[in-house]
Amino acid sequence: MLSWVGKRAGGATVQCRLDRAVRNADWHEQFPHSTLDDDELRQVILDGWKSPDLPPNATIMEHISSCRKALSEWRRQHNVNSAKLVEELKEKVEGLYADDNATTKEIAAALKDLSDALKAEELFWKQKSRVFWLREGDRNTKNFHALTKQRRARNKITQLLDANGA
């Protein structure tokens, strides 16, 4: 199955399997946790790609634009803002603890959801800081100097303890 068919200026037909090269190894190393874990999200992308609103001879850019619109709509309908989601889940857990009728199974499920949301938020910020570091690097910037000063303060030895703890 070919994912793209086109014509060259001279009239020759070009056929390609573009879906075989979605990312390269360098990209995956830079964003190691960027794979999709949500099957629903995969379906949103597929539905956007195969949207009935697209003309039969739609270009790749039209397909990408359709996917972008589908993802934007999905994002509006789902709470993907991790900070907001974490706050909502914290409130849910607190509410379950306050509710005498809440079962341990419900509380455990809410705690697992909260833990997953916290891990996702931590991963997001870790990747975002890495992207910033890769972009800014060791350049002589205000950020670099602030990080250096922070590291020096953390590594500074202020006192020594002997075997007796004095």
Query: Which two three-digit tokens encode residue 121?
Result: 């938020």
Is pLDDT of 147 > 90?
Answer: no
Residue 144 lies in a domain: yes
**What's the average model confidence in pLDDT over 22-31?**
56
Residue 5 lies in a domain: no
Q: Are residues 96 and 135 in the same domain?
A: yes
Q: Are residues 73 and 108 in the same domain?
A: no
Say whether pTM exceeds 0.75: no
Q: From 78, 97, 128, give the residue that closes a domain.
A: 78
Is pLDDT of 156 > 90?
Answer: no
Q: Are residues 106 and 119 in the same domain?
A: yes
Q: What is the dihedral of CA 24, 28, 29, 33, to 10 degrees?
A: 180
Which range among 138-142, 144-148, 152-156 shows the weakest confidence by mean pLDDT? Answer: 138-142
What's the Cα-to-Cα distance from 126 to each of 36, 80, 146, 149, rounded to whole Å? 17, 17, 18, 20
Q: From 22, 46, 78, give the residue that closes a domain.
A: 78
Residue 59 lies in a domain: yes
Q: pLDDT class for 26, splitting at 50, 70, 90?
A: low
Specify the residue for token string 């994002």: 75
Q: Which domain holds residue 142?
A: 81-152
Residue 102 lies in a domain: yes
Is pLDDT of 86 > 80?
Answer: yes
Give the whole-angstrom CA distance, residue 149 versus residue 114. 34
Q: Are residues 70 and 86 in the same domain?
A: no
Q: What is the dihedral of CA 140, 142, 148, 150, to 10 degrees?
A: 180
Residue 10 lies in a domain: no
Q: Are residues 95 and 145 in the same domain?
A: yes
Number of structural domains the chain divides into: 2
Q: Are residues 142 and 116 in the same domain?
A: yes
Query: Which two three-digit tokens encode residue 22?
Result: 């979605």
Question: Which of 77-91, 109-123, 133-147 shows the highest mean pLDDT?
Answer: 109-123
Residue 159 lies in a domain: no
Backbone angles phi, psi at 63, to 5 degrees: -65, -45
Residue 86 lies in a domain: yes
Q: Are residues 97 and 59 in the same domain?
A: no
Between residues 128 and 37, which one has the greater pLDDT?
128
Q: Are residues 88 and 132 in the same domain?
A: yes
Q: From 78, 101, 134, give the residue that closes a domain.
A: 78
Residue 145 lies in a domain: yes
Between residues 126 and 33, which one has the greater pLDDT?
126
